[in-house]
Amino acid sequence: MRSSSVQPIAVLRENDLRRSSPPADENEGFTKVGEWMHDFIRTLYPLCRSITGDGVRRTLELIDERIALDVHEVPSGTRVFDWTVPKEWNIKDAYIKDSSGKRVVDFKRNNLHVVSYSVPVRRWISFAELKEHLFTLPEHPDWIPYRTSYYRESWGFCLSHRQFMALRDDEEYEVCIDSSLEDGHLTYGEHRLAGESDDEVLVSCHICHPSLCNDNLSGIAVAVALAERLRLLKRRYSYRFIFIPGTIGAIAWLAQNVERVHRIKHGLVLTCVGDGGPITYKRSRRGNAEIDRAFAHVLAHAQASSNIVDFTPYGYDERQYCSPGFNLPVGCLMRTPHGRFAEYHTSADDLDFVLPEALADTLTTCLFAFDVIENNRVYVNLNPKCEPQLGRRGLYRAVGGQSERAMEELAILWVLNLADGTHTLLDMAERSGLPFAVLKRAAKLLTEHELLGPLY
């Protein structure tokens, strides 16, 4: 594995992590969870995915083995707002052969070798004509670029620049792309965890990239692990996980769910979450949605460095969920943002580029932020005239150890003071500068002693 400076976010205290992120068994720890996600990425890595086709279906089948999915098929030609679901693309084989019959470029060795959505072709071609259909990265001569041609019928090959330089300009080559582009379906999957409320938290990731690990097998792996762990918790909200092709998948999902998107109270797009860089959170279009504040709070109390960036209408599917006709409270969680790591959309985004400890850190960050959302309630002080006598109730003796006592006592005082029916726990955390988890424990303790009552 490549080295990184990833520091686990579990600095809000290990016992908080256990409460927010229960492992599948008592012996499963931070490292094991990261390794499990990395192994799942390894399983998905060989599949050739695109925005439609059997690679997407097989990917959803493998996800379904871990979390049950409802799979939906949207026919080609279906109008979804200003877009149309395209024809379905599948591929069996592709190559470039020299005059001796040797495969100098072979799709079966790396599925990035073919421009995604290439139309079928099989013929002999001069080098002069062939090179018009070739894509390389001269600045990284051993890497294969990733290219697509979704909405314009075309064909092409991607190869390392070193492979390109070995081609002869005086030779003819046999090119073959054994693909099909026919009426079919766009396929996506959903997994829903019911909670106490029908109000939902949306978690979205794209499943349209072939053998690229950070973008976005990492998002798939973290989403699956997140669903598995949330399943073990008592949930205030319902959670909807959607695994969709990028852009057209989000647009199709929104078009099919217009009547129920009002239930989405918080949302998150997961992408590029496995590299060794610091976590980056991109705010929703609203800029100050509760999920924006939750992630800002969690990251502010982490030891590791992190970045908070404002919304822009460029990036991943958050730009569809945050389009003005919906304006949903959906942010985007990344580590190094797309386009800011050299390996982006190249064969170097491989199994060595994603790190188990980074995957585990991303998962933990999500769980802490969702813990904030789940427990962000408004309370009322039932003894609001002056401070209640805490000593005779044993509250000072009941909290923490000596090293934590001052913070715990301060949290009790902040909660009592701001529990006026207008402040949420997150409001209190932001104003006091204390970790949300500490205020949550204080509120629980005060409620048990009948000094506090939840308003909602």
Q: Does residue 429 contact residue 12 with C-beta atoms inside 8 Å?
A: no
Task: Output the CA torsion sign for 14, 439, 278, 205.
Answer: positive
CA angle 422, 423, 429 (to 5 degrees): 175
DSSP code, position 145 = B
* Two structure tokens written together for 89: 């693309």
- In degrees and rounded to multiples of 5, residue 198 shows phi and psi of -80, -10
Q: Return the amino acid letter for 290.
A: E
User: What is the rounded CA–CA span in Å between residue 333 and residue 127?
Assistant: 44
Query: Residue 184 has which token pair?
Result: 């079919």
Q: Which residues carry a binding-site annotation?
A: 209, 215, 345
CA dihedral of 339, 342, 346, 350, whole degrees rounded to 10: -110
Q: State the pairing for strand pair 185-193/70-75.
A: antiparallel
User: Cα-flanking dihedrals φ and ψ of residue 434, to 5°?
Assistant: -90, 155
216 preceded by a cis bond (ω within 30 of 0): yes
Q: Which strand (E) or helix (H) includes residue 141?
A: none
Residue with tokens 């491989």: 350
183-199 core/surface letters (b: 16 or more CB in 10 A; e: else): ebbbbbbbbebebeeee
Q: Which residues pair with 175 in a beta bridge?
A: 96, 123
**What percentage of the chain's residues is helix, strand, coil (to nearest 5)?**
35, 25, 40
The beta-strand segments (E) located in 164-278 are 172-182, 185-193, 200-206, 238-244, 264-270
- Binding-site residues from annotation for Zn(2+): 209, 215, 345
Write the single-letter amino acid at 95. Answer: Y
CA distance 364 to 10: 7
Phi-psi region of 176 (alpha: psi -120 to 50; beta: other; left: phi over 0): beta
Residue 87 and residue 368: Cα distance in Å, rounded? 41
